[in-house]
Amino acid sequence: MKYRTALFGIATVGILTFFLWAVSVLIPVAFVELRYQYQLMLRNAFHVTDIRGLILPQFRLDLRGFTSRHTTNGITIPAINVDEPVIFNVDPNDSKAYTSALKHGIAHASSTAFPGTGGLGYYFAHSSTPAFITQFNAVFYLLGKLKPGDEVYIWHENKRTDYSVTRSAITDPNDVSFLHDMYDAETIVLQTCWPPGTTLRRFLVFATRIPKK
């Protein structure tokens, strides 16, 4: 009897843990994935990014930064529907500092370059988090879907800088060798944990500056 009660208790804890994980990690990630698939379908089938665009012309604009919401300090990646604020100059070596920043958007690593100043800028955000936050839970979950040529727009102090994705890489958490590589043009690195739902590896997307036209 005691054995069965203990087993029952363990099973209950296991199910509760799963529910916690499902609510904080699985559902937000699934939501982001579903939204992406829905918008991909809209884009491919009707060439609009919003269902309202089927009727109203003002919604037929492709998301090329014209509709970005965070034009003071923000980032827009049209291909994966990212349009979020950026918190600049966040200490990437202080987990308390960056965890706090990631609750408010995408973090720019202090000691790396700012947009328009040359050099390498490093931006990071959650692929998922168990922190029970909804808005910025899985901001960079879709980084893996970016392809070379996709555009990334970064606003810093109301000025926009455009980048084009060149490549991606999966690295160990302690591998920072890419910081010391030589780059022909100003480059940014977008980072998130990989695979989603773990902290095992880091997924990096590299994008280089598009010269102003």
Partner 1 sequence: MSSGNTVIKFTCDGRLSECKNNESGFASTQSLAGTACGKTVQIDVFTKNCRDGGWTCGNNDMTDYMVWYSGDCQTVPACDSNQLTMNVNPNPVSVNNSITFSAAGSQGSTWIGDTWSGGVNCSGTVWGDKLCTANAAGSYTWTHTWRNCAGNFDNCGGACSKQMSYTINASTVRPTPTPTPTPATTSSCDNLGIVSGNNSFVPATVTLRVRGSDSAGSIQKYRFYFGDGKTEETTNAEIQHRYESSGSFTARADVLDSRGNWKSSNACEAGVHVTSLPIESPKSDCSDLFVTSGNYNQPPTTGKFLVTGYDNKGALHKYKIDFGNGVAKESDSNSFEQVYDRAGTYTVSGFIKDTQDNWKGGSGSCQKTFYVSTQPLTSQPSTGTPTAFTIMAILGGASGFAFMIAKRLAK
Q: Could you list the residues that contact partner 1 (CB under 8 A)?
A: 7-8, 10-15, 17-22, 24-25, 88-89, 91-95, 98, 102, 107, 109-114, 116-118, 122, 124-130, 140, 157, 161, 171, 173-176, 179, 185-186, 191-194, 196-200, 202, 209, 211-212
The least CB distance from residue 48 to partner 1, in Å, is: 32
The least CB distance from residue 20 to partner 1, in Å, is: 7
Contact present, 86 and 70 (Cβ < 8 Å): yes
The residue among 197, 194, 202 whose CA lies nearest residue 174 is 202
The residue among 74, 143, 142 whose CA lies nearest residue 106 is 74
Q: Is the four-CA dihedral 106, 202, 166, 60 of positive or negative sign?
A: negative
Pairing of strands 187-194, 106-109: unpaired
The least CB distance from residue 26 to partner 1, in Å, is: 9
> Judged by CB, which is closer to partner 1: 41, or 170?
170
> Judged by CB, which is closer to partner 1: 48, or 196?
196
The least CB distance from residue 213 to partner 1, in Å, is: 9
The least CB distance from residue 180 to partner 1, in Å, is: 9
What is the rounded CA–CA span in Å between residue 140 and residue 202? 12
Q: What are residue 194's DSSP bridge partners?
A: 201
Q: What are residue 162's DSSP bridge partners?
A: 153
Contact present, 11 and 3 (Cβ < 8 Å): no
> Judged by CB, which is closer to partner 1: 59, or 178?
178
Q: Hey, which bits of 30-183 come out as E strands?
A: 73-77, 82-90, 106-109, 120-124, 151-156, 159-171
The residue among 67, 81, 91, 86 whose CA lies nearest residue 38 is 81
> Judged by CB, which is closer to partner 1: 61, or 176?
176
> Judged by CB, which is closer to partner 1: 18, or 38?
18
> Judged by CB, which is closer to partner 1: 14, or 61?
14
Secondary structure of residue 198 in the 3-state scheme: coil
The least CB distance from residue 100 to partner 1, in Å, is: 12
